[in-house]
Amino acid sequence: MISYDDFQKVDIRVGRITRAEPYPEARKPAIKLWVDFGPAIGEKRSSAQITRHYTPEALVGRQVLAVVNFPPRQIGKVMSEVLVLGVPDADGEVVLIGPGHEVPLGGRMY
pLDDT at residue 94 above 90? yes
Give me the mean pLDDT over the 49-64 stretch.
97
Measured distance CA(70)–CA(83) in Å, rounded:
8
For domain 4-96, give the CATH number: 2.40.50.140
pLDDT at residue 110 above 90? no
Measured distance CA(37)–CA(42) in Å, rounded:
5
For 51, phi and psi rounded to 5 degrees?
Answer: -70, -15
pTM metric for this prediction: 0.95
Give me the mean pLDDT over the 73-83 stretch.
94
* Average pLDDT score over the chain: 96
Give me the mean pLDDT over the 72-82 stretch.
94
Give me the mean pLDDT over the 58-74 stretch.
97
Measured distance CA(8)–CA(61) in Å, rounded:
28
Give me the mean pLDDT over the 17-24 stretch.
96
The stretches of the chain forming alpha helices (DSSP H) are 4-8, 56-59
Position 86 scores a pLDDT of 98
What are the CA-CA distances from residue 99 to residues 17, 46, 65, 83, 109 (Å)?
A: 13, 19, 8, 16, 10
pLDDT at residue 6 above 90? yes
Is residue 56 very low, low, confident or very high in pLDDT (cuts 50, 70, 90)?
very high
Position 68 scores a pLDDT of 98
